[in-house]
Copies of this chain bind each other. A is one copy, B any other.
Amino acid sequence: MSQGKEKILQTALEAFAEKGYDGARIDTIAKTAGVNKALIYYHFKSKEELFTAVINDLFEKAASVSIEPTGTSVRDNLIQVMEHFIDFLHGNPYFVKIMDQSVAQDRDIFHQLHHQNFFFEAVMGMYQLGVRTGECRKVDHPEEYVVSLLGAVYFYFSHHRAIRKFYGTISEEEVISIRKRTMRDIIARLIFV
């Protein structure tokens, strides 16, 4: 991939994340990326296609960080996946912003994305395995608990600015560490007998 194209994609990601699809300006993206506006249309045939490319890029990266838990019990594996999820959201702040905006606006692309249920399927599968092995408690609606767990993790990042202040002045790394500990506790209390 050419240097210009890469710069455009990176800059566009930030722009779309901060301003949303409609708020982002091709002019601004070009200027910020330090390239001519026409170069964007040399590489991508429209704003919509640029957005699609940005999203695909993002989800590709998300999927490439594979999660093949290495633990010896369902409990360990579930915790690994959850911590991985937290690390991913922590390391990709733009991901959450673009997700929230695009989901709220019901953008086309998201109907085609199969990676979307990535974490959900992973967690759900492990839980069901846990029920079979007797490690996890059997409940009427397992999807309820999976959604709740994912939501609990996701919410901190999606509403970070509003929430962060309740944690005081400690470093972000420390908050992440605390979040992981809490989520381990929550998983233990909700899913395991």
Contact = CB atoms under 8 A, between A and B. Distances in A.
A33 to B, nearest CB: 20
Given A152-B151, A154-B155, A162-B110, A105 B23 contact: yes
A147 to B, nearest CB: 6
Query: How many copies of this chain does one complex carry?
Result: 2
Interface stretch (A46-54, A69-77, A178-186): A178-186
Interface residues of A, number: 48
**Interface SS majority for chain A:** helix
A103 interface: yes
Contacts of A132: none
Contact of A178 (B19, B144, B183): B144
A128 interface: no
Interface string A140-156: 01011101111111111
Contacts of A183: 148
Given A20-B101, A147-B152, A148-B155, 12 more contacts: A20-B23, A22-B23, A98-B104, A103-B158, A103-B159, A104-B158, A141-B182, A143-B166, A148-B152, A148-B186, A150-B155, A151-B154
